[in-house]
Amino acid sequence: MKSKTDDILKTHKSYSPDEVLAAGGTTAFGLKMGKTNESLAKALENAPPIEPFSDEEWADLMKQLARDK
């Protein structure tokens, strides 16, 4: 089964924690990559809504939660 994460990993380079720390931490790394808090906020506002679970999965989760209380 192919997930959305598989597609993202093929189109976006990932960086190790060591690479991020070597850049000076998360904020410095983001700035070096040309990212800002404002651009992140705008990207999140313009992103399509994502539902992590299907209706069936939500129903199963709610049943499990009620059962395990």
> Is pLDDT above 80 for 47?
yes
Q: Which residues contact 23 (CB under 8 A, 6 or more apart)?
A: 29, 32
| Percent of the residues in the chain that have a pLDDT greater than 90, as a whole number | 29
Q: Between 1 and 35, whose confidence is greater?
A: 35
- Contact criterion met (CB below 8 Å) for 20 and 35: no
Average pLDDT on 40-58 reads 88
Alpha-carbon distances of 10 from 22, 24, 30, 48, 65, rounded to whole Å: 24, 26, 20, 20, 35
Number of domains in the chain: 1
Residue 8: count other Cβ atoms within 10 Å of its Cβ.
Answer: 10
- Model confidence, pTM: 0.41
- The boundaries of the domain holding residue 19 are 4-68
pLDDT value at position 67? 94
